[in-house]
Structure 1
Amino acid sequence: MAMALRDSGLETPQVSLAAATRRTAYEVVFQDGAAASALQSLRPWTAGQDFLVVTTPTVQALHGDALAVLDPTGRRILVLACTEAGKTVTQVEHVCRRAHALGLGRGGVLLAVGGGVCSDIATVAASWLRRGIRHVRVPTTLVGQVDAGLGYKGAVNFDGHKSYLGCFHAPAHVLIAPDFLRTLPARHQREGFAEIVKIAIVCDPDLLNLVDRHAEELVRTSFATPRAAGRAIVWQSALLMLQELAQNPYEDQGYERLVDFGHTFSPLLEADSAHRLSHGEAVAIDMALTMALSAELGLVAPASRNRILSLLRRLGLPTDSPLLTPELCRRALEQAALHRGGRPNLVLPTDLGPSRFLQAADAVGPDMIVRALQALAPPPGIPGPVSLARPGLRAAGSLNLAGS
């Protein structure tokens, strides 16, 4: 055999192309009605008794009867504390340990019934188990139903960095059941609207107008009224998110993504606040600053900037934070460039035409950042949702923002 190989010339390098792609498709189903009846539609995924449901203490307390539809015995339901600060590898290990104890096979299924953190943890666990098993998502928060529960990604925090470790592992099925929103605390509804405002600004002016008219009442009534508008807002936001993700699902076709609007400065804000700022609150502050930068660059009129700032404040979302300093902005742009192929790719909305992407951090100088930060304070007599004290804010002419 060795002589045959030598005779065939294999002592010189040989090349064979190995296909390593996977075509993936999954259904995202919007189902109105009671939570229990919505979960009943998932019975085909649990019929083989090779499954594990991952949920949270809050969902178990509020919707335990509905969860019993999936497993009346409760033996295959893992109740896991899911907080942004506790979104760690240790939590993923808890899921894997229970799956192993239950003997989940290669054809097993993880079902995540909870918010974005629950979905993240279950997605990473599903990607690890036997090198990848199926998982089903049932997002129970507004953020989950319009954003975090829809895409291919899962992640956990590591070494002080938000979502630093993660995977691309598409779900097998996503169920959006708006009935879960009726028990959602107002703060969580507000932060969900931050993600809705995000996708509306960069993708759909009509959706933004609908949110502008109805969002406050929907938060006040826990999505009870106006019912039709609330359902339309959730489903349209989800569809827009899916359409954007479908263009570059594995983020390997480029690093200019409209869905990154509001997600450049927010990761550092969350981490530096020790997660006292929720994800949606940090996204709201990020959007406010980015709109102010777009105004400074002449891409949007001051009236457009002020409209978004007003909408966020009416929703009870913050538009500023003492943590939002020129130094944090510099670090955020540097971190974004590391994550986005060497360029910050800050999404900048425009009044005319599609959004633009900031390709060089030094295009927004330190003085411009300071002016944008100063524009975030609410008008006199209008209190902000968070403290606006920012001691020592001044033009930082020596601050170096060049990084790409």
Structure 2
Amino acid sequence: MGAPTVFNFVFDPITLEEALIHDFLHPSTGKFYHSACVDQPISLGEALRRGFIKLPSLAPGIALTLTDCVMWFLNQNTGKFSDRFSDDQFSLFDAIHQPRPLVKNNVREIIDMANNRRLTVVEAEDANMLRMRVGRFINSQEHAEMSLHDAYQLNLIQKPQTLTEVIESGSLDNENRFIDGVQPRTLLEAISSGMLDSDVAHIKAGPGDELISIGEALKRGRLTPQGKVVLSLGGEVGMHGGGKINLFMAHERDLLTSRVRHTIFDVKGVRNAADGSVMSFKEARDAGILQLQFDGLETRLSEAAARGEINPGLAEILVAPCGLSNSGLPLSLVRAFLEGRVDEVNGEVIDPGTGLGKSILEAYNVGSVVSTLRAAMRFAALLDVHPSLCQ
């Protein structure tokens, strides 16, 4: 059999989920065949490179996942958000249904055991699995009601993970199957279901320092659809020649790392007038494109947005009070960043009293660093944005 013939027709990409449902893509081998595209099966990597298949990606939005909220901010006893330093209390429903939501509603992080699927918080509420106003969870398989914290402890609430996180949480079995709900999944099924985040960089691309995502690794052939990491031909981590190793071994050899963090300062939203390219605030600062003198800083950024030099939504976030203060005066996010009050690499804020970095949760618990629970939740989301916003 000769090389596949690729037809030159206009073909709208299909989602990974559609490809699996309609048997265009084999869930284990990753072989793709669609009569409108090719005359014989091709590899998943080639299908991705040619744009025949698109992997799932979270829709843009800067807010926390429910998983993060349960881990850090939700009151375990009441199932609501309760400010430690005021009488402000609000439900998960309130946190989602507001002009600038504090919690994302588009992440498939609710495990529907009865139907072996993942749901968003809104879908889970419609399926009577989530009572958002009172913060309760109903196990769809046993019909048992429990707190959101208990559901999280039972892995019934779990945001999309990296390969590293799956291994470290014990959710990968010895046959390279991903344990999510009641039925083990292949790598491609785990991506399609929402168990794996295909956008987050955490896989070493080769002997150098570059880290790439699951999606990019599949496209480049670094990761196979069977869940094997392909070693470079020049030799790597003590092995010579080409070869494939399983994910457990790749983890042991540090080819799988922790997820790369992105912040609001990495979001593409500043236009470079010289060449028309769009860059992040951090890139624009380093290139000297934005005027960032402290006097009138917020006004100048707002004016730049009015002229089309910076995305209005990004400018609005940068100039708004962020929950930090200086001598009792509220600081905008951009001013806090330029004053060195934000450590964007580690996703921390700097305590002015000690000069040390604190996580947003620690800063909120101190009470004197981040002013309110709502500010802490919004700040935490700004310091951990999804990479799809930074591409």
Structure 1 and Structure 2 fold alike (TM over 0.5)? no
TM-score (structure 1 length as normaliser): 0.28
Which structure dedicates a bigger proportion of its chain to helix? Answer: 1
